[in-house]
Structure 1
């Protein structure tokens, strides 16, 4: 679909707003590894496609954004003390939303979980200038995801893609199955994929 030049500025503003919203609200929710064995469900469809994504820049990062800088992940606690119950772990490199600067080395966060984290393991958020390709997805299933020869678990398995690894989708798929071409061709279950960060 070709777009007229006069509509390009309006389209650019809409795409930038949607990408910022997706980054601020969708991506952090995928960052959490809860203590219970819950699987994180990705959004079911994609609302934005662009022909030249390098033209679109993501707006500046919010003042309340911080990035986890703890190699093995950062515990989120119910109260601002190490003796408080841990309610989840946020992976290294993921963004969190802080409520304020905190006190006594503890910072309250509101996303992706409500709780407290140790301030020494937070750093300023990176500003992303180019969003990942719309065909990029990453595996969010804790034990990875199998790649099947056809869109059915009754067909031969071609291999396993580990948690956190990126895949390239061919389309949004149907009936809960998504065709991929990278790291190899096959089908994966849609519930095991999330958006690339």
Structure 2
């Protein structure tokens, strides 16, 4: 008669227990990096946005300028009938950004072509650009304040397009803010008072 070892089952059970303990103690993979405020736009996205950036539109009626692409967001100001605005992006979800007479968003359906063509009253041409030189990049904010709502960001080496005419402000800490229209409409800090941006040049 074939004898069965009494140790076979306990040994097998011990192996399962060891395997389970090893599995439980094995290090797990986790995401250690978090997204930063300094998001950037790809060149193709910037090109698309610049197709309308700087063009002139007029209000079909009295409309509101909002801080976000939503009618429930805070209003910046009103635009009167036939008052002209300067576009700051290519539009999204029925909304389009403007850089003047105020920075914000309006509903695209409320705009019509300007009587004098698509160029803004402030002038025509390629516009003025500057390159971001600070290593960590720059955040784009809704207004000229470090506590203002975050719009986006620009990585070091990328280009921003200034408003026409150029707009700048200095805050209480001595930081200079410059208004831009691309890659997104908003304000960026040029430094104390400068140092974050390279020299001005004609946009391509």
Length-normalised TM-score, structure 2: 0.30
Length-normalised TM-score, structure 1: 0.32
Please tell me whether Structure 1 or Structure 2 has the larger radius of gyration of its CA atoms.
2
